[in-house]
Amino acid sequence: MKRICLVLVGLYLILLSSFAQTKPSQDSIEYKSRKLVLEEVNFVSSYYHQDGNNSSVTGGIGTQKLSDFANIIDIKFAKYDKRYRKHTFTLEGGIDTYSSASSDKIDLTANSSASSHDIRYYPSVSWLVENDKKRTSFGINASASKEFDYQSFGLGISFSKKSIDNNREVGFKAQAYLDQVSLILPIELRTSSNSRGEHDDYPTSSRNSFSSSFTYSQIVNQKLQLLFLLDLAWQKGFLSLPFHRVYMNNNTVHSEVLPSSRFKIPIGLRANYFLGDKIVIRSFYRFYQDDWGLTSHSVDLETAIKITPFISVSPFYRYYRQSAIKYFEPYQSHLPADKYYTSNYDLSKFDSHFIGAGFRIAPPSGIFGNPHFSMIEIRYGHYLRSTNFNSNIISLNLKFK
């Protein structure tokens, strides 16, 4: 009897298992882990060196020699929630160490002052939520920056939505920076009321910047996609740098004075095209105008040549041209009656060329066979400006997954 019951139970279980395989539902979703996972780590290091003879610290003349060593690490975590929305958390930390021969001239009498070198720290965090079902993403970010004479806090939000066929996407971003500029005047312009000495606290003034960005991306065909960009930016507060000297035509020296507001409108277009099977052409054009009278055009062209599917070489060229702002004049050219004045050649009329190349390797099995070490990229560029200014920059990016 016992044996018959066991056989019947066994038959019943076999019967049940034959109906255990159900048809997958049409809207079944691939399983996605809800654990927080480390998705990607990037190290970016850059060395930059420049030289010229129009330093704004010494009134538009003098050395512009400067070196900067920048290091950035960003770490990306991701997880899915109960509604299958992807949450991405990015932590970024940057540190720049720079030395500047022109900043050293804030005190003209010192052989070498504390302003000859500085360190800048800039951490940031961001959170992005992507909903594949609704084809939307929403993000917020916060950032900070600290160097000897400048402190910044930033906040931003972003939103984007794709079309039903995922061929179009519109995006919107808003960003605010609430900054404080330390009022460090050239040594000869300091009085007892505007200076406390080199190592004491300097008075500060605020500089606030607000910007909004609109983007529209469009897939044209299987090889071409476009991106249109428009920014609107407004700055208010202390917009000059107090240690920039201006020598008037009567030989008197003053600290740079610029208006307390600035409205900027850059508009841009990116176009990427896959030519044949081995060449990707990346192009970018920007038109910029602001209410200080500066108008500029910028054209970038980069050609990524795929030597193999995982190794590419990318020569690039960038041409930039700008007009001067209304308040710029060279050394000893400003009139004493001018309300606003600067001899900062970064705001003068010039054109520039930036040329270089990059090399990228990203094998599927990883660098040196390590699957976590996914990519190395190195890039060098030479920058030449028509104001007898030139610079070189070399950068390295290591990616780990």
Partner 1 sequence: MIIKNSFYLLAIFLIMSFSFSSCTTVKAYQKGKLNDAEMVLGSRKIQKSEMSFQSYREGASGVNGGKTGGGCGCN
What part of residues 127-146 is at the interface with partner 1 (CB under 8 A)?
A: 143, 145
Give the residues across from 150 on adjacent strands: 147, 181
Contacts with partner 1 in 81-100 (CB under 8 A)? none
In this complex, which beta carbon is closest to partner 1, that of residue 11 or of residue 311?
Answer: 311
Residue 322 binds to partner 1 (criterion: CB under 8 A): yes
User: Residue 397, interface with partner 1 (CB under 8 A)?
Assistant: yes
Stretch of 4-12, 13-21, 165-173, 249-257 lying at the interface with partner 1 (CB under 8 A) = 165-173
Share in percent of the chain as helix, strand, coil (round to 5): 5, 60, 35
Coil, helix or strand for 243? coil
Residue type, 63: T
In angstroms, the Cα distances linking 269 to 114, 301, 362 are: 43, 12, 28
Alpha carbon distance 213, 200 (integer Å): 40
The region of 13-21, 127-135, 192-200, 292-300 touching partner 1 under the rule CB under 8 A is: 292-300
Asked if residue 147 binds partner 1 (CB under 8 A), the reply is yes
Q: How far is the CB of 251 from partner 1 (least distance, A)?
A: 27
By CB under 8 A, is residue 76 in contact with partner 1?
A: no
Taking a C-beta distance cutoff of 8 angstroms, is the pair 300, 283 a contact? yes
User: Considering the complex, what minimum distance in angstroms separates the CB of residue 105 from partner 1?
Assistant: 16
Interface pattern 362-381 for partner 1 (x via CB under 8 A): x--------------x-x-x
**Three-class secondary structure of residue 172 per DSSP:** strand
Among 179, 255, 256, 327, contact with partner 1 (rule: CB under 8 A): 179
Q: For residue 48, state whether it binds partner 1 (rule: CB under 8 A).
A: yes
Q: Report residue 376: phi and psi, to 5°.
A: -125, 135
Token output for 312: 């590419």
Residues binding partner 1: number (CB under 8 A): 95
Integer-rounded Cα radius of gyration of the chain: 28
Nearer to partner 1, 107 or 179 (CB): 179
- When asked if residue 249 is in the footprint of partner 1 (CB under 8 A), the reply is no
Sole binder of partner 1 in the list 119, 142, 269, 384 (CB under 8 A): 269
Return the exposure string of 173-211: e unless at least 16 CB atoms fall within 10 Å of the residue's CB, then b.
Answer: bebebebbbbbbbbbeebeeeebeeeeeebebeebebeb
Locate 246 and state its tokens: 């201006």
Stretch that binds partner 1, among 79-87, 107-115, 130-138, 386-394 (CB under 8 A): 386-394
